[in-house]
Structure 1
Amino acid sequence: MTGIAGGLVRAGVTLPVAGVAVAGHAFLMVCVFMGTVIAIERAVALKHVVAFIGPLTSGGAGLALLAGAPQAAAWLAVAAALAFVGVNLVVVRRQPAAHTGLLLAGALAWFAGSVAHALRVLDGAVVPLWFCFLVFTIAAERLEMTRLMRRHVGAGPALLGILAAAACGALLSGFAAGWGGLLYGLSLAALAAWLAVFDIARRTVRAAGLSRYMALCLLTGYAWLFAAGLAWGATALGLPWRDAALHGLALGFVFSMVLGHAPVILPAVARVKVAFGWPFYLPLMLLHVSLALRLLGGYLDPRLTAAGAAGNALAIAAFALTLGASAIAWRIQHAPSQRKPRHEAPAGN
């Protein structure tokens, strides 16, 4: 909540938020929130208590930042990322595959970005590397799903080449922001095209229920990823499209993936089942409409940027409430009847 509030202040919304939350908005959202959530998911899958050291440490990093110790928070994030690298090494050893290798590459990107952040070097590479962590993780999950489809023999190598270019662009951004940003942006756009062509969502969007909802989340997310990639490259060339690059990627792409996968991941991680229904579409629509208002309307009137950002926050809150309500609805639907039968056999003699 503090990370979101800090982002709202940066977008022009007046809120009583500490300065460290405003300055550390990206750190709180990527390293603390997303890092902790993803690390918990991986720890549950690994089924070993030691794997929870990472998410506990990244959560502690957020508390340290809000307590006014940003340098301690930065090094805690480094420790959390390093622990996450260790977890993914175990995953790769157990299941050597292209998608587990990408998960490890994402963990390494988080670690590299966090080290640069803690040492205050290669500032231009920090945020792109943090985004590589998220993008690589999502790409790995989608690559695993494409194993269910027949695809061109060159699709796998093409994906690895695109992600390698993204990693190079992120690192180059620390030395030559223009060239690095251009390569990074073009790589993101290429990844969106790859996902649009090869992802199984192209087929499941014609299904019904949860499958269609997830597919719509994915496909709209890929559209935002393409737009964010172009905006990132344009920003590197000097155009004022930084907000579209950052939040088209973070909100349009990453949070679309969160909205799409949460109804499946939450039951697996928290052992809480949800009753899927049409209300899940409301936060999704609000997210995309408010993001379009923020990124397109903001060029006409800065107040539209603030209004769109407030809509983004409302969409995230609405999704959390929808998840909670759907979990309660499932319990009610599947609760055993408490009513006694009308006719009971008499007690035995």
Structure 2
Amino acid sequence: MKKDQPVVWHRFVFLAFAGASVLTGLTAALALLGYLGGTRAATLAADHGPLMIFGFVGGAIGLERTVAVRTRWAWAGPVCSALGVVTLLAGLPVAVPALLFTGSFLLLGLVYATVHRRQATAAVIAQAAGVIGAVSATLLWGFGDGGFAAAMPPAVVFVVATIIGERLELARIPVTAGNPEPLITGLVLALAAAGILFVAAPEVGHPLMGLLLVAVAVVTARVDVARRLVRAQGLPRFSAVCMLAGYLWLGLAGLLWVAFPRTTTGFLYDAAVHAVFLGFVISMIFAHAPIILTAVIRRPLPYHPVMYVPVALLHGGLALRLLGDAREAVPLWQAGGVINVLAVLTFLLTGVTLSVRASRRRARR
């Protein structure tokens, strides 16, 4: 056990950079909501999307995949991601962290290629399709003139393809009884293609991506075992509740993309972005954290009913936020946003507390 300890702490270090990204990203969210002022707050607000998607989600996924693939060269990906976070927070020209994040995602693509050579599966293909979106997003953000708003749709490709692919990989979706894997993988690949089309022709690619988001949500939710596990108890039920709620928000986001023209500012943009990144992505992270974090850091994260508190805050706050978006009511929008920040912070605090307590109990035994 002592022989493995340096590797475990090595993982903790890289996980800390993802943690720094999410904490700074949540601070940036408060700046966007109007609760922080000053020049630094304005700069931080502009970095909210890259910190949350490239630094936090991308960093965590890259670390998890690196641990799973068990090859030394793959650690270059988390190194690039960590340097991307550092240079972004240090205020270097945006091209510098953009290139570092791009490098981390390209290395993630090589990791998927390695895994696919070892065992070819549709799940790996679906996750690899997300790399197309991630690289497109980082390059658009770093070298385009539209900021993160212009890179948001390809970033959606990254998170959706990765999460749906991991649902297939974790064998939570039954692949018998008609074998839905090819259909789901085909929809994910079509979403990646629509993301490329968006870069060339945004007014065409945007509604097409919306249709595909709805299709991915409906088809995957129909066959996901979460529909049965929601009647179970403990962790299986908790995960199922989070996943089914995530699919609902993803489908709603797709409908918004189809029903309304593309915009990069305002209430409609806020609703279209956060229905995906909060309602779908964060809910799915809540669902899988006890499994994935335990595998990555080799520390238990046991289920406890208190974990439903941040889940309720997340979805209740998001519903309030979207109500504020629909009514263009700033107080409702702000209240929902603050509740969302509290939801993520509460989940982080709850997870750390439960993990530390479980580790201490194990040590005493």
Same fold (TM over 0.5): yes
Q: Distance in 2 between matches of 1:315 and 1:43?
A: 28
Task: Select between 3-12 and 271-280 the one with higher mean Cα deviation.
Answer: 3-12
Give, as a single letter, the amino acid of the residue that structure 2 aligns with 1:167. Answer: A
**Partner SS state of residue 159, structure 1:** helix
* Structure 2 residue 155 is matched with structure 1 residue 133: no
Q: Give the deviation of 1:241 after TM superposition.
A: 2.3
* RMSD of aligned residue pairs (Cα, Å): 2.1
* Residues 144-223 of structure 1: pairs in structure 2 closer than 5 A: 144=169, 145-146=171-172, 148=174, 150-153=176-179, 155-223=180-248
Residues 305/87 of structure 1: CA separation in 2 closer, same or farther (3 Å cut): same
Task: Report the equivalent of 2:50.
Answer: 27
Task: Report the equivalent of 2:307.
Answer: 280
Residues 115/218 of structure 1: CA separation in 2 closer, same or farther (3 Å cut): same
Q: Distance in 2 between matches of 1:53 and 1:42?
A: 12
* Structure 2 residue 35 is matched with structure 1 residue 13: yes
* Structure 2 residue 292 is matched with structure 1 residue 265: yes
Task: Report the equivalent of 2:332.
Answer: 304
Q: Distance in 2 between matches of 1:163 and 1:178?
A: 20
Contact 1:110 1:133 in 2 (8 A): yes
Residues 190/125 of structure 1: CA separation in 2 closer, same or farther (3 Å cut): farther
Contact 1:297 1:304 in 2 (8 A): yes
Residues 147/5 of structure 1: CA separation in 2 closer, same or farther (3 Å cut): closer
**Partner SS state of residue 277, structure 2:** helix
Q: Distance in 1 between matches of 2:358 and 2:37?
A: 36
* Structure 2 residue 84 is matched with structure 1 residue 58: no
Contact 1:290 1:309 in 2 (8 A): yes
* Structure 2 residue 128 is matched with structure 1 residue 100: no
Residues 190/335 of structure 1: CA separation in 2 closer, same or farther (3 Å cut): same
- Encode CA deviations 1:283-310: one digit per residue, 9 max, x unaligned: 0001000111111134332111111111
Task: Report the equivalent of 1:83.
Answer: 107
Q: Distance in 1 between matches of 2:197 and 2:316?
A: 34
Q: Give the deviation of 1:160 after TM superposition.
A: 2.7
Q: Give the deviation of 1:150 after TM superposition.
A: 2.9
Contact 1:88 1:107 in 2 (8 A): no
TM-score of the aligned structures, taking structure 1 as reference length: 0.90
Give, as a single letter, the amino acid of the residue that structure 1 aligns with 2:178. Answer: H
Q: Give the deviation of 1:36 after TM superposition.
A: 0.8
**Partner SS state of residue 178, structure 2:** coil
**Partner SS state of residue 96, structure 2:** helix
**Partner SS state of residue 200, structure 2:** coil
Q: Give the deviation of 1:329 after TM superposition.
A: 2.5
**Partner SS state of residue 60, structure 2:** helix
Give, as a single letter, the amino acid of the residue that structure 1 aligns with 2:316. Answer: V
- Encode CA deviations 1:304-346: one digit per residue, 9 max, x unaligned: 1111111111100000111011112213443436xxxxxxxxx
Aligned sequence identity (%): 36
TM-score of the aligned structures, taking structure 2 as reference length: 0.86
Task: Select between 201-210 and 231-240 the one with higher mean Cα deviation.
Answer: 231-240
Q: Give the deviation of 1:146 after TM superposition.
A: 4.7
Q: Give the deviation of 1:177 after TM superposition.
A: 2.2
Contact 1:35 1:55 in 2 (8 A): no
Task: Report the equivalent of 2:356.
Answer: 328
Task: Select between 328-337 and 195-204 the one with higher mean Cα deviation.
Answer: 328-337
Q: Distance in 2 between matches of 1:234 and 1:4?
A: 29
**Partner SS state of residue 188, structure 2:** helix
Residues 163/275 of structure 1: CA separation in 2 closer, same or farther (3 Å cut): closer
Residues 272/65 of structure 1: CA separation in 2 closer, same or farther (3 Å cut): same
* Residues 103-118 of structure 1: pairs in structure 2 closer than 5 A: 103-118=127-142
Gaps of 5+ in 1: 338-349
For the pair shown, the structure with the greater C-alpha radius of gyration is 1
Q: Give the deviation of 1:149 after TM superposition.
A: 5.0
